[in-house]
Amino acid sequence: MIGTTTLRADVWTVERPGETLAAFVKARTAVPWTVAKRQVATGKVFVDGACVTQVEFRVAVGQQVELRTNAPKPHDPEREGILVFDDAHVVVIDKPAGISSVPYDERETGTAMDLIRGAWRRQGRAATTTPLHVIHRIDRATSGLLAFAKTKRAEMGMAEQLRAHTMERTYVCVAHGVVSSRRIESFLVADRGDGIRGSTTRHEQGKRAVTHVTALHALHGATVCEVKLETGKTHQIRIHLSEAGHPLIGEPVYIRNYTGSLLTSSRMMLHAATLGFVHPVTGAFVSLSSPLPPDFTAVVQRFEP
């Protein structure tokens, strides 16, 4: 068929970019639009071994698309246990990739806050009257641990730990190339001159950002890294590694100046793996961890040497 090379029944390698996942499946199986969209939405289509349920997801050259008509129902974070920590003052969830931390406009639904309230409703608890105060955020494309405060006292206490850089946050990522362990410091601005965030040489105009990178495991054309934030600025990890010549696999924005061979992924390879903080009311230290999700490990396995 034009545009693909068939590997075996219902498995293809993408050779032409730009198609949506539903359009790709429709063209290769000759099913009606409604069937192709339903196959994607119900978890029957996998990209690079990871289930993708976004009908409008756009495939990239080199990705492998597989139709599994007998695939089990995909993980549904709204119906399974997503609450990692929950008491009268703080709640922490394990956010899936593709979910916003908070709504960006009043019409957006399905955010991390909605997942928390949905879990509370299923437990028979007050879901609409309990406030949720934003402590920190992680990108929509990033999976992992995300905390909210349920009281103003907790909000103030957690915010103070963020300002003092005493909240412990560790990420796991996969970056292009051979990454060496290092400390990265720069001053970040919202617009480096081309419409996207980045570092500036004019320190008085930027915000200081410090990232500690530890190389963990070499892959074909990439490196698995552990990243610890000393500061927490918007897109800090993505910007620092990209500017160091090692953009994350699946990075959609900070990739413009990369001249190496791009590796593809159905998700951005960044996961908030650990979160540690002093409880703002009890004073006890809370240490939480989140395992790498299946769609993350599937990509890692694809690039194993």
**Regarding beta strands 90-95 and 83-86, do their DSSP bridges make them parallel or antiparallel, or are they unpaired?**
antiparallel
Q: Which two tokens stand for residue 3?
A: 């545009």
Tell me how far CA of residue 231 lies from CA of 169, 183, 211, in angstroms: 10, 12, 7
Do residues 288 and 274 make contact, with C-beta atoms less than 8 angstroms apart? yes
Any catalytic annotation for residue 139? yes
How far apart are the C-alpha atoms of 100 and 82, rounded to whole Å?
Answer: 15
How far apart are the C-alpha atoms of 188 and 211, rounded to whole Å?
Answer: 12
Is the sign of the CA dihedral 293, 297, 299, 300 positive or negative? positive
Do residues 170 and 274 make contact, with C-beta atoms less than 8 angstroms apart? yes
Q: Which two tokens stand for residue 30?
A: 């000759």
User: From the centroid of its chain, how far is CA 58?
Assistant: 17
Biggest distance spanned by C-alpha atoms of the chain: 63
How far apart are the C-alpha atoms of 61 and 4, rounded to whole Å?
Answer: 10
Q: Can you name the residues that pair with 154 across neighbouring β-strands?
A: none
Give me the residue label for tokens 């709504």: 103
Active-site residue, from 139, 191, 194, 295: 139
Which DSSP letter does residue 68 get?
Answer: -
Which DSSP letter does residue 201 get?
Answer: S
Please give the backbone phi and psi of residue 240, each rounded to the nearest 5 degrees, phi first.
Answer: -60, -45
Q: Which two tokens stand for residue 19?
A: 């198609």
Please identify every residue annotated as catalytic.
139
